[in-house]
Structure 1
């Protein structure tokens, strides 16, 4: 998967070139960047079964009347005004997989902000290769921040929760 910095670099290169549309597909994911008179759009479909393909479509020769700064319609990092949370420990993902906050879609989440946990309290499940792995808190304390969304793909070592001892 491309990182946001790589996507931004692609946008800059396309902006300077005569390319009107750029499609990048790999590992079941597709990123499409289209240049029009007033904006760029980036689309990421859920899954693609085709082998990796890079396709360039040349823009027809036409005069440019007005230059406008590129705008990203999706995948733009949001600037947030979140206040800093005081914590002593981060619970991190021990593997790559999909995070679930509850044992089933209609169940309550294992923990929420403010939940008191002990070292053996299950805080979430990470599914990897159809195996559901319960993740434990490993410390005694209180959940002060939840860093990953339900159903989100998480990486090895990615912080999931912050705990105040």
Structure 2
């Protein structure tokens, strides 16, 4: 699961788009919202988007840390990369531990893009077994996906505990 955004975006058709061959939009920033993780403008006056730092939050199920894809060396490399990304300061990695049980929404990926410009509405990108959907028709259409994301965030471990879970998985591969 990913929640991210950008300073601006081009206008697109509004609504829900189902595509079986779509590539997800590229996450490039974060506006904030209920998490209040917002951006702080560091650019010159008159251009509030100038110098803003992108922020991203990734929520992973603990199963992705335990299922060895590509063999031990490839998995160890992936876990090390995850730890290095978590150290960037503008990326938050959160893990939903097994102890928190199975939750609806863990059957596919969800990406929510938020934008700094108030006139730019959020977009949700949902991947599932038979294809994907892009939802960009207004807050009322994206709201259920935000609610799902927030529910997953509340059951995920803290950033510190999540990093410890990744490090523990990496140690077990050694």
TM range (shorter): under 0.3
Q: Which has the higher contact order (CA 8 A, sep 6+)?
A: 2
TM-score (norm 1): 0.21
TM (norm. structure 2) is 0.20
Higher strand share: 1
Over alpha carbons, which structure has the higher Rg?
1
